[in-house]
Structure 1
Amino acid sequence: MTRPKRSDELANAIADLIIERRLEPGAALPPESVLMTDFSVSRNSVRESLKALQALGIVEIRHGYGTFVGSASSAALHPWLLFRTRSGGSTERLRELLEIREILETELTRRAAGTGDGELRQKLSGCVGRMRVDGPDAATADREFHEHICDAAGVPLARELVGLFWDVYRAVETDLETVAESPGETAARHQRVVDAIESGDADRAEEAVHLHFGEVRARLGTGPYRSRPADQ
């Protein structure tokens, strides 16, 4: 094998090895001595690269037992995204985060609207009902609402990303002095999305998502509601 020039390149090479060998989470990686030989690098280089991969959740180092493939959960990205959103002007970063969420969730909701999934409406309606009651569970219900849509759209990775964006958004929102939204207002915004999905009309579902995020932006003072372009 060609020797990687830097520790980050070695980390990428080890990650590629995991993919090439189709190693599942929990599977053991080759011992450090084997990695040293395969990549023609020092023990310190291997350890440094493994620590970097561990920080990303790609590997799990169990001292005294070896190194194993990790779950690579999106939670590993949480500190980075939270820092990025809080730095450089939290309001502006939060607006950008909402933009990303809107772009992603618009297509997911369009797909969910086309499934004709009656069970989905029951799940979403249950979440909306919980949002009407002020308390910690209302926030949990909000997060689950968006995750149910991801599940219905059939994009498992999107569920992780939407959950990550939602968690970071909530964390940063608490740092800002914003106009508090009543449980009834929160529930109403989400109910429009439920009604649009139930109608089976993808365009109506898209418009409901735009309205949902537009009202959030207006409340945070990060911009007005932007309707779907007329030519779409």
Structure 2
Amino acid sequence: MSISSVVPKARFSAQARLRALQADIMELILERDLDAGDPMPTEGELCEVLGVGRNTLRESLKVLQALGVIEIRHGFGMFVAPSNFDALADGLTFRGRLSLRHEGLEALQLVDIRQALEAGLISASIPVVSQEHLALIEAAVVKMEDLAARGEQFAEADAEFHRLLFEPLENDLLMNLMSVFWKVYRKIHVEIGTDGMHLVDTAAAHRNIYDAVAAQDAATAAQLLNCHFDGIRAKIRAFVESD
């Protein structure tokens, strides 16, 4: 049975109108040159400018709030929301975990994107890494090595290592995106389990990446980062095939 035979055409047209209204509200924010934290027009003004009823407007505002476009502070009004990637992380996590129930395609694609970001940008980060920053990266490696020797997981130190690799680029958007992909990656990792993980080998792989960065060997660092994600890919494929 097709979706069109279940959902009335009026429902489709209503959804289309709401999406159009959401687009109009975002366009209004841009046209008025509003920035994060700036107050939004009142509901009454938006209704008048956009030519819609209050109930219809509120439906769209709720969606935009969920998407992190606007922030509704009860008793204070509406504001353009600051950068918030929670909705993106939640959506990608759901899609990745959902794909694990089927062929795992989106979970694998998410790993591909993270690999492309890290392997592609390491050559830009290496020249601007200071000696002080290298010491922080190595400290994260040492923590992983110590925990691995005790047979303990080191997810936080792992995340810190990868964040520190690219922090010298001073690119806030990149840091936010990497944080999103790390959250998604961790959720997927929990979903497929950690059995069979070779902690000492994983820590050693991070040590090798650090050594290449410290030696300013961008080609080797990129190659190591490209190989770094082979393990999670293999686990995803094995999980899907066994399901």
Q: Same fold (TM over 0.5)?
A: yes
Asked if the contact 1:7–1:49 (Cα under 8 Å) also holds between the matched residues in 2, the reply is yes
The runs of 4+ residues in structure 1 deviating greater than 4 Å are: none
Q: Where does residue 68 of structure 1 map in the other structure?
A: 79
Secondary structure of 1:197's counterpart equals: helix
How many residues are aligned here?
Answer: 217
Moved more, 116-125 or 138-147: 116-125
Q: Separation in 2 of the partners of 1:147 and 1:21?
A: 35
The answer for unaligned runs of 5 or more in structure 2 is 1-15, 239-243
Out of 49, 60, 79, the position equivalent to 1:38 is: 49
Per-residue deviation, 1:75: 1.1
Residue 204 of structure 2 is aligned to residue 188 of structure 1: yes
Give the partner amino acid of 1:84: R
Per-residue deviation, 1:198: 1.4
Secondary structure of 1:25's counterpart equals: coil
Moved more, 175-184 or 199-208: 175-184
Secondary structure of 2:197's counterpart equals: coil
Per-residue deviation, 1:81: 0.8
| Percent identity over paired residues | 35
- RMSD in angstroms over aligned alpha carbons? 2.1
Q: Separation in 2 of the partners of 1:122 and 1:173?
A: 28
Asked if the contact 2:140–2:157 (Cα under 8 Å) also holds between the matched residues in 1, the reply is yes
Give the partner amino acid of 1:172: I
TM-score (norm 2): 0.80
Q: Separation in 2 of the partners of 1:51 and 1:150?
A: 35
The answer for unaligned runs of 5 or more in structure 1 is 224-232
Q: Where does residue 61 of structure 2 map in the other structure?
A: 50
Out of 147, 151, 164, the position equivalent to 2:167 is: 151
Residue 169 of structure 2 is aligned to residue 140 of structure 1: no
- Per-residue displacement from partner, 1:206-228 (whole Å, max 9, x unpaired)? 1111121224434x1649xxxxx
Q: Where does residue 201 of structure 1 map in the other structure?
A: 217
Change (3 A) 1:62 1:200: same
Q: Where does residue 111 of structure 1 map in the other structure?
A: 124
Per-residue deviation, 1:116: 4.4
Change (3 A) 1:18 1:148: farther
Asked if the contact 1:113–1:199 (Cα under 8 Å) also holds between the matched residues in 2, the reply is no
TM-score (norm 1): 0.84
Q: Select the structure that is richer in helix.
A: 2
Q: Separation in 2 of the partners of 1:32 and 1:12?
A: 16
Out of 100, 122, 144, the position equivalent to 1:131 is: 144
Out of 35, 43, 52, the position equivalent to 1:24 is: 35
